[in-house]
Structure 1
Amino acid sequence: MKSDIAEVEAVVWRYLHALHVGDVDALRQAFAPGSALYAAINGEATALAVEPWLERVQNRKSPEASGFKSQNRILSIEVEGDMAMAKVTSAFPPKRFVDYLSLVRTVSAWRIAAKTYHAEDIPAA
């Protein structure tokens, strides 16, 4: 029997891989219905429902298709009962992202309920 951490880790890796290759169907399966993405942009809190975000992902060239090697990493995972938090990092040059993923255990699987993220420019080498 898989541990909760292993199950959450598997979902998070699927999310990171799908993000890197631009697999919108896999991303849709990773998120719970009604999920949203949150960030502070120009000092203002912003929210975006998952479906409009998925349309953006679908209509852009993926990091993989752009020739970028995956820099995805899981930095931490914590599980408490039916909720979990994962901190991950990824890159889509010229930006590097840190995501905090809030997950909930549903009847069928762990799903991402919310994504809060920070984006910053990758320093020139």
Structure 2
Amino acid sequence: MKLSLIIAWLLSFPLGGHAQNVKNMKTSQTAETEIRNVIENYYFKGIYEGNTDILAKAFYKDALLFGDVNGVPYFKTAEQYIEGVGNRISPQKSGKDFKAEIISIDIMNSIAVAKLNVRMYDFNYYNFITFNHIDRQWMIVNKTLTNVQP
């Protein structure tokens, strides 16, 4: 009888609940750090410098881009987008202002969505970037964008 009461009492406590939360928190922090690295050191830097080698490292090869620029529909493959960045005068070389910021990052398992604001030339782009964790790295698999007039 005493043994049954002791077992029942021990089973009333959650097993490993706290340790699991700490592990998930570390994983999320690591994932967010990795995603921020891709955004800041490959995506933003590649756009600013016009460096297609750096920019291509951020994108999954079959990623797609959708949106509108001043009401005009926009659709490109990652390859077309990266090529376009390489064929224009970069914000760095133009000497014009470039301001890029991460507004938010939401992560769930192997997917994430980042909301970004990129101001360059006369554009005020809002981007929603979808990431997927592929082959142990976070890659952009989809980008949607719109230009918001101030």
Q: Same fold (TM over 0.5)?
A: yes
Give structure 1 regions of 4+ aligned residues with deviation exceeding 6 angstroms. none
The structure with the largest alpha-carbon Rg is: 2
Count of residue pairs the alignment pairs up: 122
RMSD: 1.9
1:56-94 deviations in Å (ceiling 9; x for gaps): 111100011110243111000011000000011111221
* Partner residue, 1:5: 32
Alignment of 1:36-115 (within 5 A): 36-40=64-68, 45-115=73-143
Q: Gaps (5+ residues) in structure 1?
A: none
TM-score computed with the length of structure 2 as normaliser:
0.74
Identity %: 25
Q: Name which structure has the greater RCO, CA cutoff 8 Å, separation 6+.
A: 1
Between structures 1 and 2, the one with greater strand share: 1
Q: Gaps (5+ residues) in structure 2?
A: 1-25
Between structures 1 and 2, the one with greater helix share: 2
Q: Return the match for 2:45 from 3, 14, 17.
A: 17
TM-score computed with the length of structure 1 as normaliser:
0.88
What SS does the aligned partner of 1:116 have?
A: strand
Equivalents in 1 of 2:59, 2:147: separation in Å?
20
Greater mean deviation of Cα atoms: 43-52 or 25-34: 43-52
